[in-house]
Amino acid sequence: MRRMVLTLFSSFVIMMLLRVPIAISLSLATVFVLMQSDFNMNMVPQRMFSALDSFALMAIPGFVLAGVILARGGISKYLIEALRTWVGHLPGGLSVVTILACMVFAAISGSSPATAAAIGSIMIPAMVSAGYDKKYSMGLVAAAGTLGILIPPSIPLIIYGITAEESIGKLFMAGVIPGVLLGGVLIVSAIYYAKRNGYGSDAKSSGRERIKASIKALWGAFLPILILGSIYTGIATPTESAVIAVAYGLIVSVGIYREMGLKDIRPIMTETINITSMIFLIIAAASLFGLYLTNEQVPQTVGAWIAASDMNKWMFFLIVNILFFIMGTFLEAVSVILITLPILLPIIKHLGIDPIHFAIVMTVNMELAMITPPVGLNLFVVGGIAKEKLEVVVRGVIPFIILFIFVLAFFVIFPQLSLWLPNMMQ
């Protein structure tokens, strides 16, 4: 078994180094080792299709489509304008606006790259024009954009819930306090950085300007309440709330803001299909990977080793966080979750770790993966918006990586930050 598992991982790494797409690398490596056993290869396509046969997975294209509509339909623009009238006069006002806008957009889209793209396309040029250092501006947007996968709804939390058979509603609720706390930490750091570097702020808006901008943005600001409220009150499932978000976004963008027409439908659908198909192909490929691990009883073997080694949960968290950080440098979030979770689930249950708490720890690690080179998706998104090389974006994001590591340790030590709201649902 050891030889076959080694063959599986080494062939996967080799194909990754050859720049073969992650989903293809994962599926080909698994098929290669399965062919060397007596496994019935007719099960391969059946397994891949059955992995996608889930009602909960339908929420992913829904939230992706909702995020694209909001970015193109003017909703994100009006939210930013309203936030600017309220907090733009603070030290580092534009950076505070950027973080708050990412938090609001995160509560709609469920996607980190979508959040970074929607907010960054507006705020990076605005911050640079106001005299902010370009590296800092790019790093801030890349880091704040990661809130898109922590603040609910969250695509990685949906994947986690399906894989671990946990309530997606409870997982969403678990991300609220950590997401708000992480956003608050970013805001405090932004104000401190602005004061230290002497960055200016906007003139304080009048009450009339604030009211006018807020009324204009009210339609978009109501959407997170609609999504999360429909889930937590039991009116709709996460999948149904995604459809509600799409319908509401279309009504507001086309009928109220009038910033989207028929010409926008094709690029919106193209972008949605590209993002969704990438995620679904990874899920299908990872299901094969999980099938092989299960057949070879790898999770049980690893679990038995952990039990025999008498490892406590703090040592486990340390090892797992290091593992996630390393994997995050060359894999994206969905791949890491689907590859590691089937192996880790028996261990966290053995150690008495709450799976919902572990989900938040894992998600914050995936946020780090979004901003760690060489394949952090947010780095490429921000680099494309600012027309800068990857290494320039990386220099801007390094301070935020360090900040995220400290916040991650805080969430590991205090599980009630993740568990208080889900426990209220019982």
pLDDT given at position 247: 94
Q: Which amino acid is at 47?
A: R
Tens-place pLDDT, residues 14-49: 887 787 887 888 889 888 888 887 777 888 888 888
Number of H helices, E strands in the chain: 21, 0
**pLDDT (mean) for 95-100:** 95
Handedness of CA 306, 309, 310, 312 (dihedral sign): negative
What does the pLDDT read at residue 1? 59
Confidence grade of residue 55 (pLDDT, cut at 50, 70, 90): confident
**pLDDT, the chain, mean:** 88
Mean pLDDT for 170-183 is 96
Q: What's the confidence (pLDDT) of residue 307?
A: 65
Contacts for 384 with CB less than 8 Å, ≥ 6 apart: none
pTM of the model: 0.86
User: Which pLDDT does position 261 carry in this prediction?
Assistant: 87
Read off the pLDDT of each residue in 166-195 and give the average, rounded to a whole number. Answer: 95
- pLDDT for position 426: 61
| Contact (CB, 8 A) for 73 and 188 | no
Closest CA to 132 of 105, 184, 97: 97
User: Residue 237: what residue type?
Assistant: T
Query: Is residue 163 over pLDDT 80?
Result: yes
Proportion of the chain above pLDDT 90, given as a percent: 46
Q: Indicate whether 13 pLDDT > 70.
A: yes
First CA to last CA distance, the chain: 42
- In this predicted structure, the answer to whether residue 364 has a pLDDT above a threshold of 80 is yes
